[in-house]
Amino acid sequence: MPITFHSEKKIFKLDTSTSSYIFKIGEGGYVMGLYWGEKLDEADVDYLTVREGHDSNVPLSASVPDWRFSPDTMQAEYPAYGTGDFRLPAVMIKNAAGNCVTDCRYGGHRISRGKKPIPGIPSTYASDDEAETLELFCRDVTGAEFTLVYTVFEDFPVMTRHAVVKNGSDTPIWVEKAASMCVDFTHPAGFELLHLWGCWARERRVERRPLGHGITKISSGRGASGHYHNPFAALVLPGTDEEHGDAYGFNLVYSGNFAIEAEVDAFGLTRVVCGINEDGFSWKLAPGEKFYTPEVVMTYSNSGLGGMSRAQHRFYRRHLLEKKWLASPRPVVVNNWEATYFDFDADKLVDIARDAGALGFDMLVVDDGWFGKRNDDSCSLGDWVVNEEKLPGGMGKLAERIGEFGMGLGLWFEPEMASRDSDLYRAHPDWCIHTEGRDMSIARRQYVLDLSREDVCDYIVDALTSVLSSADIKYVKWDFNRKLTEYSSAVLPADRQGELFHRYILGLYSVVGRIKERFPDVLLEGCASGGGRYDPAMLALFPQYWTSDDTDPIERLYIQYGTSMAYPACTMSCHVSASPNHQTGRKTPFSTRCDVAAAGVFGYELDPRALSEREREETKRRVAEYKARRHIVTDGDLYRLIPPDGDECAWMYVTKDKSEALFTYVRIKTMIAPVAFVRLRGLDPDRTYVDGDGRRYLGSTLMRAGLNLTGGRRDAESVTVYFKAE
């Protein structure tokens, strides 16, 4: 049993495949953390409770007679605001009296097999024989009730947590903050924080820095999880590297305003609180109503960052992503965005499809510009009607014409938006998020539709349904190119305006869910100006995600490296584009563009008609090779061999049975007479591996001595080696 309750000592022990998480019910009903880390063989670690004498500035609890105990220094599982713990709170409830004083004490628990979904919010799933769930029922004297939900996965070093707040009183209350989880580490201070920061076309850069005293907050307040910070962070002990050391990953399964906060207090304890960002948030609960938080995926690894990432990748493939799209190979697409931008018509698209079909591609994705009167980004978002001047006969005709070359049709939408110049905005200006009496900020000449409104959600579902049922459309790229401003909703009452951000996200999940129900065979690719909403909740709905608008393979090394910290390669959409690159102007070899794009879900973002004869031949070979070997990448284990911190970068994927591996090395910047030996990882030491030239190596040799990549590679040149075990 992964969850055990030791009733005498009131200790809960939650065991995953390699970790233990232990907490207890202390005096006064306080829920107190004890331990999270490498698996322990015993539960009774009560001695880890912090108890020390304090000065008068650290308040004592009226219900615990021990003068050494204070809420301000206890390791809390769900610390409440205003009752003696001055550190980061997990929960703050405003009551009918108008104050926010909150308390959270144990009132009972239930342990059951499996895992229940969270209403309205995507979450991880598990069958009854894969996981066990603990619900811890807590309450405040005001009648506010809190259920802390822990699910433990037996085959992964992973657990998930979320919380449910219920108004058990007979007056309204307001949830001002309800985190999904809190953990107080008993490790001595000295953690380092690793997180993913960035901006448009430079997403998910890795930053690692010591966690100092005080509060550190990684967050978004933009209405979307965003380019700037990703809802993923890891705490690592100093010295932890790719393969050794303790790493604790936190990944919030949520696409809106989030916060991952860490506080190192004066006594050296580190607290981590993750959940919906409290800034601008307030949720009214009528008597009897419940509020569900999104969940946090908590991964522990004692084999470094690589171990943490591999565990999380495997976990997401097994427990988060849609099975259907994992089992069936995804189409290899040509997307026309960088090939044509807005300058296309049916004949041009058919020409591209003809070429692409001959090269082995499966699908043409028609990007922005097929609807309304949109010939640039100034208009027509929201008017989802095919532009018959560009595409006579509509999507049905186009699908039929490109189908002759064996090509399926994919289509771009930006459903959550209305252009200022659109029939939709003219008809329904109040459908866009705005604040009465204030100017509306504009970005890309468009506004954000208010998805907290049912009528708006219905419109989006109907508009997309009408296009998607007009033709055999097999793929949708769902874009989102600006963030929310002037946050208020025309339909919410004054005391519910703080609900807008979260209601928007709930509306989005419901709209996407309804589209998926109506069109279960359409593959959805997520996009938000590239990877601006690359989070686990989106991945539960969108099996793949446009990783970044930056398609320069050198820039992609950093972006894909950072993305791989949390997310598996099967979610990472990566395209070969033209050189010089449209975003950076950098010239790179064709083969490097292919090698780097083949590290995820491979496709093209260029006009195949512009390829040279040599590039056409290479494309045919690359597409065929990718189809034959993609399982190594999309279902294999990733080993990051050389991070892109210096002049070179290398990684490899290995199948679970260790019978195949794909290794890629990129020389970022050339060097005269470089010597490069790269040790491989993850192979079977006792098996013999053969490379593409027929050279045979023992796995142990490749891992101990490595490959010899010495040679005069120029800037941005790369090599990929495929290994097959005999």
Q: How far apart are CA 656 and CA 685, in angstroms?
A: 14
Where do we find the tokens 């930053």? 207
546 counts as binding ligand DGJ under rule CB under 6 A = yes
Q: How far apart are CA 597 and CA 287, in angstroms?
A: 53
Query: Which of the stretches 524-532, 552-560, 593-601, 626-634 binds ligand DGJ when contact is defined by CB under 6 A?
Result: 524-532
Chain centre distance of CA 297:
11
- Report, in Å, the least distance between residue 371 CB and ligand DGJ: 12
Q: How far apart are CA 684 and CA 725, in angstroms?
A: 9
Binding mask 358-387 for ligand DGJ (x = CB under 6 A): ---------xx-------------------
Q: Smaller CB distance to ligand DGJ: residue 155 or 377? A: 377
Which residue number has the CB closest to ligand DGJ? Answer: 368
Query: Which of the stretches 83-91, 255-263, 483-491, 522-530 binds ligand DGJ when contact is defined by CB under 6 A?
Result: 522-530
Catalytic-residue membership of 479: yes
Helix (H, G, I), strand (E, B) or coil at 348: helix
Token reading at 691:
């490379």
What does DSSP say about strands 105-113 and 214-219: parallel, antiparallel, or unpaired?
A: unpaired
Q: How far apart are CA 207 and CA 218, in angstroms?
A: 12
- Report, in Å, the least distance between residue 367 CB and ligand DGJ: 5
Q: Smaller CB distance to ligand DGJ: residue 158 or 527? A: 527
550 counts as binding ligand DGJ under rule CB under 6 A = no
Among 15, 479, 535, 635, the one annotated catalytic: 479
Catalytic-residue membership of 549: yes
DSSP assigned state of 422: S
- Report, in Å, the least distance between residue 528 CB and ligand DGJ: 7
Token reading at 414:
């930006």
Of 301, 481, 547, 564, the one binding ligand DGJ (CB under 6 A) is: 481
Query: Which of the stretches 33-41, 248-256, 526-534, 642-650 binds ligand DGJ when contact is defined by CB under 6 A?
Result: 526-534
Helix (H, G, I), strand (E, B) or coil at 198: coil
Query: Which of the stretches 357-365, 502-510, 527-535, 647-655 binds ligand DGJ when contact is defined by CB under 6 A?
Result: 527-535
Q: Smaller CB distance to ligand DGJ: residue 198 or 530? A: 530
CA dihedral 452, 454, 460, 463 (to 10 degrees): -170
Do residues 182 and 200 touch, judged by C-beta distance below 8 A? no
- Report, in Å, the least distance between residue 580 CB and ligand DGJ: 18
**Alpha helices of 185-303 — where are they, by DSSP H?**
none
Do residues 31 and 25 touch, judged by C-beta distance below 8 A? yes
Rg of the chain over all Cα atoms, to the nearest angstrom:
27
525 counts as binding ligand DGJ under rule CB under 6 A = no
529 counts as binding ligand DGJ under rule CB under 6 A = yes
Of 527, 570, 598, 638, the one binding ligand DGJ (CB under 6 A) is: 527
Token reading at 118:
């969270």
Site for ligand DGJ in 8-67 (CB under 6 A): none
Within 10 angstroms of residue 520's Cβ, the number of other Cβ atoms is 9
- Report, in Å, the least distance between residue 352 CB and ligand DGJ: 16
Q: Smaller CB distance to ligand DGJ: residue 104 or 527? A: 527
Nearest alpha-carbon partner for 591 in 407, 706, 714? 714
Q: Smaller CB distance to ligand DGJ: residue 140 or 550? A: 550
Among 103, 383, 549, 552, the one annotated catalytic: 549
Site for ligand DGJ in 398-427 (CB under 6 A): 412
Q: How far apart are CA 25 and CA 109, in angstroms?
A: 11
Residues forming a β-bridge with 4: 13
Of 337, 509, 545, 639, the one binding ligand DGJ (CB under 6 A) is: 337
479 counts as binding ligand DGJ under rule CB under 6 A = yes
Where do we find the tokens 């204070």? 70
Backbone angles phi, psi at 501, to 5 degrees: -55, -50
Q: Smaller CB distance to ligand DGJ: residue 72 or 368? A: 368
Count of residues interacting with ligand DGJ (CB under 6 A): 11
Do residues 600 and 569 touch, judged by C-beta distance below 8 A? yes
Q: Smaller CB distance to ligand DGJ: residue 130 or 338? A: 338
Backbone angles phi, psi at 358, to 5 degrees: -65, -25
Q: Smaller CB distance to ligand DGJ: residue 368 or 648? A: 368
Residues with catalytic roles: 479, 549
Residues that bind ligand DGJ (CB under 6 A): 337, 367-368, 412, 479, 481, 527, 529-530, 546, 549
